Amino acid sequence: MPDRPLRSGPALRALTPRPFGATNATMGPFESLPAEVSVYEVSPRDGLQNEAVTVPTTRKVRLIEALLDAGLRRIEVASFVSPRWVPQLGDAEEVVGLLPRRPDVVYSALCPNERGLERALAAGVPEIAVFLSASETHNRKNVNKTIDETLAVFERIVPPAVRAGLRVRGYVSTLFGCPYEGAVDPRRGLEIALRLVRMGCYQISLSDTIGVATPVQTRDVVRLFQRELPDETLALHMHDTRGTALANVLVGLELGIRTFDASVAGLGGCPYAPGAAGNLATEDLVYTLHGMGVRTGIDLERLGEAGQVAEAIVGRELPGKVHRAGVRSLRS
Ligand code: HMG
Ligand code: MG
């Protein structure tokens, strides 16, 4: 399909990009906060894929049910990738089959190729997430293809998935740095994101796979993407390897991003990114947003209980700050 100017594309006609560079010099930080943001929970997928132990199916379902009880409504529950590459998530069909079907909940699952789409359609998930990296070496190690080969696969699966009624999300990994190549040009990531949106992805999650981003870098990358894409098509997926995830998310919030990926108790990583640690902990995100008067629809105390379930099923201490402090410690 020939490329065309993005803003004339039918998928984006209803969306209004914010004017780039529109600032109000009289306003300080956090003086124009949204009433509510969306939290996209990734612990059952990004979290469990990186655990040394393979968690039994029923315990994964227990975690997802605890997340539902806490109020999470967008949850990445499984991965239709090769079970030889990620054995920890080899029971994707069984997990999805055991979940309560609820009209107010969107379950999502990773999908790398045609076989993944077939499995997702058969399992009946309402959403899939395609993923690729902004750096060649990580992409090769993660999906055994070049970036162009991966995009060609997605050209074959995203439009049919959308026609079949699925929502399709896209991840651009290693956007802030690559474990093999070091610095990454975010303009390459933007080109990839534009391709994914043209194919039919409703949202692109800008991903700091190995947790190297800092706030000024996050500002620059988010602004670069906002020049071409409306805010509602963008999300931030920050890993907290170096303790900068929350600071980066707050920069995104200030700039107009309204979806943030997070993982309960900080569970997570990427098996093909050495040194990648957990995602931003959902409790840390929710605690901070609620303290700033931004709603999430999540009950922090119930979320704390989900964090306890996460810790119990993986059998090791998890690093989330609020998880470690204990949400109950907030009571006087
Ligand atoms: P390949 O070996 O090049 O695949 O892997 P292939 O097409 O040559 O197939 C080889 C075998 O795998 C065949 O089986 C296929 O049927 C099977 P055989 O004939 O040898 O018995 N196969 C599959 N089986 C089940 N489901 C499938 C599937 N596809 C092929 N969908 C492939 C290519 C993409 C499959 C592989 O590299 C793979 O599964 N990679 C996934 C890696 C992964 O999941 N990484 C972690 C997720 S990404 C991430 O964490 C980042 C993120 O969090 C954002 C961020 O933080 O940056 C999203
Ligand atoms: Mg990740």
Residue 77 belongs to domain with CATH number: 3.20.20.70
- Inter-CA distances, 15 with 10, 58, 228, 233, Å: 10, 41, 12, 9
Q: Would you say residue 5 lies in a domain?
A: no
270 noted as active-site residue: yes
Q: What is the pLDDT of residues 197-232, one digit of tens each?
A: 999 999 999 999 999 999 999 999 999 999 999 999
Q: Would you say residue 210 lies in a domain?
A: yes
Q: Would you say residue 13 lies in a domain?
A: no
Q: Which parts of the chain have pLDDT scores under 50?
A: 1-16, 20-21, 332
For position 277, what pLDDT does the model report?
A: 77
For position 328, what pLDDT does the model report?
A: 72
Q: Which residue range forms the structural domain that includes residue 270?
A: 38-325
For position 219, what pLDDT does the model report?
A: 98
CB 296 within 8 A of CB 290: yes
Q: Would you say residue 122 lies in a domain?
A: yes
For position 43, what pLDDT does the model report?
A: 98
Report residues whose beta carbon is within 6 angstroms of any ligand 1 atom. Answer: 46, 49, 79-82, 85-86, 110, 112-113, 115-116, 119, 131, 142-144, 171, 173, 207, 209, 237, 239, 270-272
Cα(138) to centroid(ligand 1), Å: 14
For position 268, what pLDDT does the model report?
A: 83
Q: Would you say residue 24 lies in a domain?
A: no
For position 276, what pLDDT does the model report?
A: 64
Q: Would you say residue 332 lies in a domain?
A: no
- Distance from C-alpha of 272 to C-alpha of 89, rounded to nearest angstrom: 14
State the total domains in the chain.
1
Residue nearest to atom 25 of ligand 1 (CA): 82
Give burial (CB, 10 Å; 0-12/13-18/19+) of 291: exposed
Q: Would you say residue 23 lies in a domain?
A: no
Instruction: For residue 239, give the ligand 1 atom closest to its CA.
Output: 56
Q: Would you say residue 180 lies in a domain?
A: yes
For position 271, what pLDDT does the model report?
A: 61
Task: Name residues with Cβ closer than 5 Å to ligand 2, which is an ion.
Answer: 46
For position 330, what pLDDT does the model report?
A: 62
Q: Write the Ramachandran bin of 326: left for phi over 0, alpha for psi from -120 to 50, otherwise beta.
A: left
Distance of CA 269 to the CA centre of its chain: 12
Q: What is the pLDDT of residues 116-158, one digit of tens each?
A: 999 999 999 999 999 999 999 999 999 999 999 999 999 999 9
